[in-house]
Structure 1
Amino acid sequence: MKKTLVALAALAATSAFAQSSVQLDGNVDAGYQSVNYKGNSVTGVAGNGSSTSQLNVRGNEDLGGGLRATFRVETDWNMVSNLANTGTSTGVNIKSPSDSINGSGGTFGNGEVRLGLESATYGQIHFGAVNYNTLGTFLTGQPFGTAIGSGFRTMYINDAQGTSQVRAENAVKYVTPTFSGFQGTLYKSNKQDKATKVAFDAKSVNNLNTQPNAFSTAVGAYDQVGTQELGLNYANGPWAASYSALKQDFVGISAVNASAGAAGTAVYKVNTLAGAYTMGNAKFMALNQSNTTDTGSVKNSATTLSATYTLGQTVLMAQTGSLKSSAGASDGKKSTFTGFGADYKLSKMSALYFRAESVNDEAGAMNAALTPAAIKGTDTKFARTALGLRIGF
């Protein structure tokens, strides 16, 4: 009897193992880039010209009855800098070369990290630092991903934080089952504002007063911006569409990486709408976004049109559009954007690429994450070009 139980236990363990899987996948991207900002040019080797270099660890287990447990741990890295992959998570340049301002690039698990349950009948629920539906909407409406030519963090933002984050900490996301091509999403990251305020210390490791995101396993240990999002996606045949309504409460909370814990005073709403239609070798896309505050301090509206055409191993892509501001000193001013690109596929996973984008930011809406403030000048124009190699695995 004992041997039978042991054998049954071994068989059950083997069966469970056979229904589980873990996989590694990712992408590497690097090449030659040129940046022209405020009338000054800088050139050199850089990464992520066409996509984010990253390593993903994914796993799932079949729980039976159409239910499975899943997880993902994403790490984004820098393919051209050792310092960028060995610095501190805050990237403050105060202690040593490894604490360089570039030092957040390769911190383990710095991308999407989540675990959850998935069912075709009941939908999906994920916990962690989970990607917004807004990111998916943005990717639906133009062909450049989040890299050069996309308008990401130049014309468009992914949320209202200073670095335009693509996810929130301490979040939960529910995704409905798909009905006739439609799928809905509900996203929530609770506002936390009860943490003890401390005096600003210029010598602190993170150079911050009150941390805006809960970089801790203890709920309430840090203040955190409140985030909620509703999303609706559609994909059926040649048509695809996506809408995301993101709302963030910054009142009393400092923005990510804000020094001295400067408290926010507004609630932001970022609404993003995208559509795409595939016709033979061509694909046409449109993207629209509004970004407003309840105080009237921000009121931007941006729209771009994009297209791709596949000719053998070559994919050509283009995007153009503008952003108009209706608030403050920028009221009535317009920023314009143009992006071009081409991929030459060496294989299913590898490609040579060209990317170029130019922005005339007369509305002053360019996102801080892509504003190289260290470059001198006062011009409103910003341009980037890249020629590189992308390898998937």
Structure 2
Amino acid sequence: MKKSLVALAVLAGFAGAASAQSSVTLFGVIDVAARYTKGNGNNVKQLTNDGSSSSRFGVRGVEDLGGGLKAGFWLESALSADNGTAGDTSTTPNKFWNRRASVSLMGDFGEVRLGRGKTSTRLVVDDFDVYSTTGLGDVTRVYNTLGSGTLTINRADNLAQYFLPGDLGGAYGSFDVAAGEGTVGAKSYGGRLGWKDSAINVAAGYQSTEAAGGAKFKQLSLGGSYDVAGVVKVSGLWSQLKFNAFKQNIYTIGAVAQVTSAGSVLAQFSDAETNSSADLSNTAAGDAKFYTVGYLHNLSKRTSVYTTASLIDNSGRSIFRVQGNAVVPTRGGKSGGFDVGIKHSF
């Protein structure tokens, strides 16, 4: 259940300016899993924070400005509940609000949003990966940036976004441009368009990012899903990544089946294929097949338990792995993992 920020003295300053027409909310997810991963004859046993949903906490607010116009802000940080750290400590300087930091204006025209956030193609991939690009089933574990050094395949800094209004008969979309501000691999533009009703969702997204020397890294993603009477939801996703002569295609199909009133089985398969130019390159080589199956059981509206098992079968010189800190497999080898975890939302 979302809690009013005014209940938390440590963040009371955010609420001090709130009026009767304003709302400020603290929200988050705590997700911790016991995980085992293996590759190249070695294994890693650990507690991790992204089994079913990425652990995070944040604060967001909306102010009614009158005349149908609203202002909003959103600050969201990754949270490693296994060790108590927060934000992205791998960057210099560290990004505390690494998941999202934005301010926006909203109205009948849609939403204009400025700050840091997800790119257009990431939003498409999120919608049609049954694991929502999280945990051992994260489809982007077999996405290859092809040696481009792009920084925008997931999120972008200095991002200006426009979102279509929500009353277009099921149509939706967004467009974005990110200023590089002198950082190689950070300057990009993109967009997505989709249509959704109670059972069907289809969307396409495109992103172009400027790499070193002005070369472009390009991603095109097309996805669709169909919900069969609330019993089974089937999803399909195709992504193509291109950089110079290198090209990768990733074909994904997945399903979520409601097997009990509280339990769901999730299954997904991805086939990642690179072209011959990439196969001959040390930086972009590799095909892979990615298998994932899992089960999630809801204990309440906010709490669930889950388990996931996955395997990446590399070929050629590829070294994809099921998690960022899993053992790097031998070239063309296998990477596998299994976890059991608890997720609680507030």
Establish whether residue 345 from structure 1 lines up as the match of residue 294 from structure 2. no
Contact 1:155 1:323 in 2 (8 A): yes
* Distance (Å, rounded) in 1 between the aligned partners of 2:238 and 2:105: 32
Structure 1 residues 38 and 163: alpha-carbon distance in aligned structure 2, compared to 1, 3 A threshold? farther
With 323-332 and 370-379 compared, the bigger mean Cα shift is at: 370-379
Larger strand proportion of the pair? 2
| Gap regions ≥5 residues in structure 2 | 1-15
* Distance (Å, rounded) in 2 between the aligned partners of 1:50 and 1:158: 25
Instruction: With the length of structure 2 as denominator, give the TM-score of the two structures.
Output: 0.84
User: What is the deviation of 1:170?
Assistant: 0.8
User: What is the deviation of 1:383?
Assistant: 1.2
Helix, strand or coil: the match of 1:328? helix
Q: Give CA deviations for 1:315-337 in whole Å, capped at 9, x if unaligned.
A: 11100120111043516963101
Contact 2:312 2:322 in 1 (8 A): no
Instruction: With the length of structure 1 as denominator, give the TM-score of the two structures.
Output: 0.75
Task: Tell me which amino acid in the other structure corresponds to 1:389.
Answer: I
Helix, strand or coil: the match of 1:18? coil
* Distance (Å, rounded) in 1 between the aligned partners of 2:190 and 2:98: 22
Establish whether residue 141 from structure 1 lines up as the match of residue 142 from structure 2. no
Establish whether residue 268 from structure 1 lines up as the match of residue 217 from structure 2. yes
* Distance (Å, rounded) in 1 between the aligned partners of 2:145 and 2:58: 21
User: What is the count of residue pairs matched by the alignment?
Assistant: 323
User: What is the deviation of 1:39?
Assistant: 2.9
Residue aligning to 2:6: none
User: What is the deviation of 1:138?
Assistant: 1.0
Residue aligning to 1:291: 241
* Distance (Å, rounded) in 2 between the aligned partners of 1:284 and 1:88: 36
Q: Give CA deviations for 1:281-321 in whole Å, capped at 9, x if unaligned.
A: 1101001100001x21x200010111111121111110012
Helix, strand or coil: the match of 1:134? helix
CA RMSD of aligned residues (A): 2.9
Helix, strand or coil: the match of 2:57? strand
Task: Tell me which amino acid in the other structure corresponds to 1:266.
Answer: A
User: What is the deviation of 1:152?
Assistant: 3.4
Contact 2:319 2:331 in 1 (8 A): no
User: What is the deviation of 1:362?
Assistant: 1.6
Helix, strand or coil: the match of 2:139? coil
Helix, strand or coil: the match of 1:52? coil
User: What is the deviation of 1:150?
Assistant: 3.0
Establish whether residue 173 from structure 1 lines up as the match of residue 173 from structure 2. no
Residue aligning to 1:308: 256
Structure 1 residues 352 and 186: alpha-carbon distance in aligned structure 2, compared to 1, 3 A threshold? same
Contact 2:204 2:222 in 1 (8 A): yes
Establish whether residue 233 from structure 1 lines up as the match of residue 229 from structure 2. no
Residue aligning to 1:200: none
Contact 2:49 2:82 in 1 (8 A): yes
Residue aligning to 2:9: none
Task: Tell me which amino acid in the other structure corresponds to 2:194.
Answer: N
Task: Tell me which amino acid in the other structure corresponds to 1:71.
Answer: F
* Distance (Å, rounded) in 2 between the aligned partners of 1:167 and 1:68: 25
User: What is the deviation of 1:338?
Assistant: 0.6
| Gap regions ≥5 residues in structure 1 | 1-13, 93-103, 194-211, 213-222, 253-264
Percent of pairs with identical residues: 23
Establish whether residue 151 from structure 1 lines up as the match of residue 104 from structure 2. no
Structure 1 residues 61 and 247: alpha-carbon distance in aligned structure 2, compared to 1, 3 A threshold? same
Helix, strand or coil: the match of 2:212? coil
Residue aligning to 2:274: 325
Task: Tell me which amino acid in the other structure corresponds to 2:58.
Answer: N
Contact 2:63 2:70 in 1 (8 A): yes
Structure 1 residues 65 and 59: alpha-carbon distance in aligned structure 2, compared to 1, 3 A threshold? same
Q: Give CA deviations for 1:96-132 in whole Å, capped at 9, x if unaligned.
A: xxxxxxxx6xx5312111001111x211100001211
Residue aligning to 1:282: 232
* Distance (Å, rounded) in 2 between the aligned partners of 1:369 and 1:320: 13
User: What is the deviation of 1:372?
Assistant: 4.1
Task: Tell me which amino acid in the other structure corresponds to 1:167.
Answer: R
* Distance (Å, rounded) in 2 between the aligned partners of 1:284 and 1:224: 34
Establish whether residue 185 from structure 1 lines up as the match of residue 177 from structure 2. no
With 370-379 and 60-69 compared, the bigger mean Cα shift is at: 370-379
User: What is the deviation of 1:154?
Assistant: 1.4
Helix, strand or coil: the match of 1:335? strand
Contact 1:34 1:386 in 2 (8 A): yes
Task: Tell me which amino acid in the other structure corresponds to 1:309.
Answer: A
Establish whether residue 242 from structure 1 lines up as the match of residue 203 from structure 2. yes
Helix, strand or coil: the match of 2:64? strand
User: What is the deviation of 1:344?
Assistant: 0.8
Residue aligning to 2:69: 67
Residue aligning to 1:26: 28
Establish whether residue 90 from structure 1 lines up as the match of residue 38 from structure 2. no
